[in-house]
C-alpha cells in the first residue's frame, strides 16, 4: 500500500516497527526494535512511547471501515457504526501515561476548534472508572472515553494500533476508514492540518 507520510521525530533514530500481536502488555517482535527495547527495559513505566510519527493513507487506498464496540465509562456503548457520516478521532490513553497527560491540553484545543464537525472519543486501555474520571475532571476533557482494560477495542483495531504504543491517535474518515495515525504524543499543528484536510474531502 502506498502511503503519504509526515514524520515528527522527538527521539531521533527511534524505530516504529512493532508487532500488533496480542492485547495490551503483549511483547514486541524484534530484538533490534527500539520500541521492543523500551518494552524490555524493565523500568515499569507501563507504556511504549512512540516518537510522534504520522502515517496518512490516501483516500482511494484506505482499507475497509473499522469495526468495534466499546463500553463507555458512563454506562453507554459506542460502536464503529455510530461514527459513520462524519470524521472521528480516537485517542488511546490512560492516566498514568506521561505523554497522554502532556497531549491532553492539545486535544482539548482541537476539540474546541473541530468538535462540531469531528467526533472525538477516547479509548482508555488500563484504568478503572475512578482513575479515568479523575483524569478527565483534572484536565477538563470535553469528550467521553471507552473503557478498554480488557483490550476488546484495541484488539479490534490491532491492524492499525500497535499493542502497548500509548498514546496512539487515529483519524477516521466519514466512512469509518482509518485516514491517519499518530504513534506517540500528537503535534497540535499537524493534527489541525490533517483534520482540516479530512473535512475538505
Q: What is the pLDDT of residues 156-167, one digit of tens each?
A: 999 888 877 899
Identify the bridge partners of residue 6 per DSSP, sorted by sequence position.
54
Residue pair 3/55 in contact by the 8 Å Cβ criterion: yes
Q: How many CA atoms lie within 13 A of 173 on its CB side?
A: 19
C-alpha grid cell, residue 176: 469509518
Give the C-alpha separation, 114 to 162, whole Å: 26
Of the listed ranges 22-31, 44-53, 127-136, the least confidently predicted one is 22-31
Give the C-alpha separation, 133 to 115, whole Å: 20
- Which alpha helices (DSSP H) does 41-115 contain, by range? 98-114
pLDDT at 52: 76
Residues 6+ apart with CB under 8 A from 8: 51, 52, 53, 54, 187, 190
Q: How far is CA 193 from the centre of its chain?
A: 17
pTM of this prediction? 0.77
107-126: average pLDDT: 98
Only one residue has cell 469495526, namely 67
Instruction: Tell me the pLDDT band of 46, cut-offs 50, 70 and 90.
Output: very low
pLDDT at 150: 93
Higher-scoring residue by pLDDT: 6, 112: 112
User: Is the pLDDT reported for residue 101 higher than 90?
Assistant: yes
User: Is the pLDDT reported for residue 26 higher than 80?
Assistant: no
Give the C-alpha separation, 26 to 154, whole Å: 12
35-64: average pLDDT: 64
Amino acid at each position: 500500500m502506498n502511503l503519504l507520510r509526515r514524520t515528527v521525530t522527538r527521539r531521533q533514530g527511534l524505530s516504529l516497527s512493532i508487532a500488533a500481536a496480542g492485547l495490551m502488555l503483549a511483547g514486541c517482535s524484534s530484538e533490534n526494535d527500539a520500541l521492543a527495547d523500551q518494552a524490555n527495559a524493565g523500568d515499569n513505566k507501563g507504556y511504549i512511547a512512540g516518537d510522534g510519527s504520522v502515517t496518512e493513507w490516501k483516500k482511494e487506498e484506505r482499507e475497509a471501515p473499522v469495526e468495534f464496540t466499546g463500553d463507555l465509562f458512563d454506562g453507554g456503548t459506542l460502536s464503529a457504526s455510530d461514527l459513520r457520516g462524519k470524521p472521528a478521532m480516537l485517542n488511546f490513553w490512560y492516566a498514568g501515561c506521561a505523554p497522554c497527560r502532556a497531549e491532553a491540553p492539545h486535544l482539548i484545543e482541537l476539540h474546541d476548534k473541530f468538535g462540531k464537525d469531528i467526533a472525538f472519543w477516547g479509548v482508555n486501555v488500563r484504568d478503572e472508572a475512578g482513575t479515568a474520571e479523575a483524569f478527565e475532571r483534572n484536565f477538563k476533557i470535553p469528550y467521553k472515553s471507552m473503557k478498554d482494560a480488557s483490550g476488546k477495542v484495541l484488539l479490534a483495531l490491532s491492524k492499525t494500533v500497535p499493542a502497548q504504543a500509548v498514546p496512539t491517535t487515529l483519524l477516521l474518515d466519514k466512512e469509518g476508514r482509518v485516514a491517519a495515525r499518530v504513534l506517540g504524543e500528537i503535534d497540535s499543528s499537524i493534527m489541525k492540518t490533517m483534520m482540516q484536510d479530512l473535512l475538505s474531502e
